[in-house]
């Protein structure tokens, strides 16, 4: 507790200056950082000793310990980069779609509704994953160009006789 009496437990009540609170927070942060550094140092020494006990030469054990340290630094750097990314702005909800006029046939209305829904989903997928879409289109084009039986089957399904 930072207060002079036990009855005051709120830090804002005991430390009124904003700069003093910042200084205390910075001091505690530096102390925590030093504890983490010393802990990682001891972990590295323990790993080095463990590797030496299991028959590694000192140079090989030091190299493996250094590699483990570099991997840890890489993981921390990636997590820091991910944490510092700007948040994606929230997308406002789309207005409800307008009702389509009836075509007079229930089957045609269902087909029209399903086709519109499929087009919306396809458009959303293309916008969110453009490289996957390009890769899929390239693979489909290569398959149609390379396999004549597939090309004939698709053309026979799409063309009326």
Domain boundaries, the chain: 11-83, 106-158
| DSSP assignment letter at 90 | P
Q: Cα dist. 145→44, 71, 123 in Å?
A: 57, 45, 25
Is the pTM for the entire model greater than 0.85? no
| 36-41, Cβ contacts within 8 angstroms, sequence gap of 24 or more | 40/69, 40/72
Question: Which residue would you say has higher pLDDT here, 134 or 98?
Answer: 134
- Region 125-143: mean pLDDT is 84
**Helix axis angle, 130-146 to 106-128, nearest 10°:** 110
Work out the average pLDDT over 37-63.
Answer: 87
Percent of the chain at pLDDT exceeding 90 = 0
Nearest to 139 by CA among 127, 150, 128: 150
For residues 118 and 114, what is the distance between their CA atoms, to the nearest angstrom? 6
pLDDT beyond 80 at 62: yes
Mean pLDDT estimate for the chain: 80
Question: What band does 9 get if pLDDT is binned at 50, 70 and 90?
Answer: low
pLDDT tops 50 at residue 56: yes
| pLDDT of amino acid 80 | 81
Asked if the model's pLDDT at residue 1 lies above 50, the reply is no
Q: Is the pLDDT of residue 94 over 80?
A: no
Taking the C-alpha atoms of residue 69 and residue 62, their distance in angstroms, rounded to an integer, is 10
Are 3 and 9 spatial neighbours (Cβ–Cβ below 8 Å)?
Answer: yes
DSSP 8-state code for residue 65: H
Mean pLDDT of 87-98: 72
Asked if 117 and 109 count as a contact pair (C-beta separation under 8 A), the reply is no
State the average pLDDT over residues 13-40: 81
């Amino acid at each position: 507790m930072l207060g002079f009496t036990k009855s005051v437990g709120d830090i804002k009540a005991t430390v009124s200056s904003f700069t003093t609170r910042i200084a205390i927070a910075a001091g505690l942060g530096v102390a925590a950082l030093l504890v983490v550094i010393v802990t990682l140092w001891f972990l590295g020494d323990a790993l080095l000793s463990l590797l030496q006990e299991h028959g590694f030469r000192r140079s090989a054990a030091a190299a493996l310990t250094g590699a483990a340290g570099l991997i840890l630094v890489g993981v921390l750097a990636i997590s820091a980069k991910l944490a510092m990314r700007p948040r994606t702005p929230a997308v406002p909800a789309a207005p409800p779609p307008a009702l389509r006029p009836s075509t007079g046939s229930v089957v045609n209305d269902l087909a029209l509704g399903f086709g519109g829904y499929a087009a919306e989903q396809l458009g959303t997928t293309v916008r969110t994953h453009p490289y996957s879409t390009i890769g899929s289109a390239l693979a489909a084009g290569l398959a149609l160009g390379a396999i004549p039986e597939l090309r004939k089957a698709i053309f026979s399904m799409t063309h009326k006789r």
